[in-house]
Amino acid sequence: MRNITDKWGERVKWACVNWYGAYSTRHAVGGLEVRPMRDIVDRIVGLGFNCVRAMYSVEGYVENPVVADDTLLANPELQGKRFLELFDLHIQMMTDVGLMVIVNNHNSKSGWCCHYSQDEGLWYTPEYSEEQWIESLVFFANRYKHNRLVVAIDLRNEVHDYDGTHLTWGGGDPKTDWALAATVAGNKVLETNPDVLIVVMAMCFGADLRPMRRMPIQLMYPNRVVYETHNYLEYQIFDNISKILLPWKELRSYVLFLAVIFVSIVVFQRQAWKFLGKPLPPLGALLVSAGFWTSFFSLVGLTIATKMRDFAMLFCAFSADVDFMPWVVGFAVTSALSIVSVALGVVLLLLGLGGVGGQLQGPETRRQGRRKLYEMSPLGNPVVVAAQTYGRVRARPEVRELEDLDCSAASRRAASPAAAAERSPASSLPATPSAAASGADWDAGRAVTEAAEAACAPVRCRCCDLCCVPGFGTCLRVYRDIPGVVSSILFRQAPRPPAEWDCGLCVGLQVFILLLILISLFLAAYICAHLIPTYNFAAWHFDRMWGFALKDGYDFTAPVWMGEFGQEARGTYWLNFVRYLSSRDADFAYWAINGLKWKEGEVNVVTGNFEPWDPLWDEETFGILSSDYWSIRHTWKLLDLTALMASPSTWRPADHPCDYEVDPACGG
């Protein structure tokens, strides 16, 4: 069944709040330095919550230290007590007023948590073994088994991978199989108290319950498992984009503006191509161009996907393999196919199938293109032509300014037999040089090549040196014809006769392909910027990660408790998430009731590591209560949570009152 029920089968909805602190180095719940414990308990009841998630550390259980007096300034009668005494009093005081309690093992070593660089993601650490972890769970289950309002034992907080130890769900390895460890620990607890519920944390900091879909946990008593998930704004990559980079509404404006600009350029290019008579690129040039840009963007995508997978591997190998590995493989395949396309295009160019400057208009044209490239090479090898030409271009100190020179005509004149005869005693160059060719023929071939290069030098381009071989058109003609292009667009003038494919058109093709790819990316970003902030997208994501378990009638159907979530601004993320909890009538525990937190450091956003500092009391910006542990920090938050407490929920969508420019935590 999907709901938590009592012994009569009636729905019992956990509308809880987290009251943290006992797992920290202070070994006491927060607020006791400000207000008497009884006052805070009464405040929780008065706010409408019916249960509390109470946390401890294995170290606190093992060492049972004396709680520091400065932690109990507002509770002098409690000074001198040890951790277990204070924890007992804490539990008893809450259950005395009718609050249900879920006892949670938050961490092993007392202190701040939780980050992927900490070994607290495992249920055992070098300091505290798996046996001690299970022993502590059994200890508290037995200690409170006669207290009927201690309703559950929460086995572990936010399990995740650590330092190359990748957790599995059903792998069988006792060091990595979280489902196995939870089953063993859960059964040990049930041996002590068969009436208590066993709360099992989802993978990946509590964000991913998908492995349970194929392998639900089976304990010695049925209907004892409650799955726990956690969720915060930073748990979703798409929400982080909005929080860290740009709000979605601004991103939509920017990408739409750029898409319109680039579409305008593409339209102009198309009109210019029509004005020039729609010259067609050779197949080789087309394959090289399309393949190059596709491979470039595919390699960029592969790099990004690989980096994201590597980051995910730091804390959740399961998600890395399921969510990111398909992208890595897809981009890798696309890159390989694109590189093959480039290689094929280069082969076609070197074989003379039109070259960079020829047009594949027919067999005769292709034969002429092959013959021209062949004739230019002393050995008849197109690869040599490319290498020598590239060397000459690199050696040239500068490219002469463009002149209004018909490279095609000049090249033909330079390559004519009469011109060749003037430069060499040989009257002609054999169409197919052979090993038996005379020295005069060899010199004649060099003379023709040098004459062709001299004619083309004023208009040669660094980008594609083979574009101006004899008979292959004028370089960059399209740019000198911009006035004519504009006139043809405005006055619909008849296009000119087809121009020969040249370097200018080659460059234009690269720009055209690049712009088409960018326009596609911008349009995709525009659609995503509209879709991602919507409730439907959020609901799809949460259903995929853990909400599926709330569907009745499946083998994996089970109660799911949202054990932690919090926010300081009523923005897109908050509204979508609260709406989802309401629509699924999900049990929850808000983080947190605390008004202050014992801060022991912070995460460096550059290195990703936790950097400790001298501990101090700081504002708990997610807290329901303010620092006085009585007044309400955010009224809107309490109203939203109150609406979630009923079953079915009474919460309904509201207007968006949060401005991203005022507070980036709005999330959209």
| pLDDT (average), residues 6-13 | 91
**% residues pLDDT > 90 (the chain):** 57
Q: What is the pLDDT of residue 474?
A: 39
Q: Chain-wide mean pLDDT for the chain?
A: 81
* Residue length of the chain: 668
Euclidean distance between CA atoms 443 and 424, whole angstroms: 7
Euclidean distance between CA atoms 36 and 19, whole angstroms: 14
Euclidean distance between CA atoms 568 and 119, whole angstroms: 28
Lowest mean pLDDT among 28-32, 182-186, 472-476, 511-515: 472-476
The burial of 393, by beta-carbon neighbours within 10 Å (0-12 exposed, 13-18 middle, 19 or more buried), is given as middle
User: Looking up tokens 């939203």, which residue turns up?
Assistant: 640
Q: What is the DSSP letter of 416?
A: S
Residue 511 token pair:
């720009």
Q: How confident is the model at residue 242 (pLDDT cuts 50, 70, 90)?
A: confident
| pLDDT (average), residues 553-560 | 94
Lowest mean pLDDT among 26-35, 224-233, 339-348, 409-418: 409-418
Identify whether the C-beta of residue 323 lies closer than 8 Å to the C-beta of residue 541.
no
- 655: three-class secondary structure by DSSP: coil
Write out the E strands in 122-178: 150-154
Write out the E strands in 579-629: 587-590, 596-603, 610-619
Q: What is the pLDDT of residue 571?
A: 83
Question: Is it the case that residue 374 has pLDDT exceeding 90?
Answer: no
The three-point CA angle 161-165-167 to 5° equals 55
Lowest mean pLDDT among 7-16, 269-278, 481-490, 601-610: 481-490
DSSP states along 518-571: HHHHHHHHHHHHHHTTSHHHHHHHHHHHTGGGGSTTSTT---EEEEE---SS-S
- 615: three-class secondary structure by DSSP: strand
Residue 541 token pair:
């994501």
DSSP states along 363-392: HHHHHHHHHHHHHHSTTS-HHHHHHHHHHH
Max Cα-Cα span within the chain: 118
Q: What is the pLDDT of residue 237?
A: 80
Identity (one letter) of the amino acid at 239?
D
Q: What is the pLDDT of residue 408?
A: 42
The pTM assigned to this predicted structure is 0.79
| pLDDT (average), residues 518-523 | 94
| pLDDT (average), residues 90-118 | 93
pLDDT digits (tens, 9 = 90+) for 274-283: 877 888 888 8
More confident: 191 or 439: 191
Question: Is it the case that residue 389 has pLDDT exceeding 50?
Answer: no
Euclidean distance between CA atoms 519 and 54, whole angstroms: 53
Q: Which residues contact 366 (CB under 8 A, 6 or more apart)?
A: 352, 353, 354, 358, 360
**What's the Cα-to-Cα distance from 531 to each of 80, 247, 345, 603, 650, rounded to whole Å?**
56, 13, 39, 31, 26
Which helix or strand (DSSP H or E) is residue 250 part of? Answer: helix 248-275
Positive or negative CA dihedral for 330, 331, 332, 335? positive
Q: Which residues contact 5 (CB under 8 A, 6 or more apart)?
A: 11, 12
Q: Which residues contact 353 (CB under 8 A, 6 or more apart)?
A: 282, 283, 284, 360, 366, 369, 370
Euclidean distance between CA atoms 492 and 192, whole angstroms: 89
Question: Is it the case that residue 386 has pLDDT exceeding 50?
Answer: no
Identify whether the C-beta of residue 21 lies closer than 8 Å to the C-beta of residue 29.
yes
Lowest mean pLDDT among 108-117, 486-495, 583-592: 486-495
Identify whether the C-beta of residue 210 lies closer than 8 Å to the C-beta of residue 545.
yes
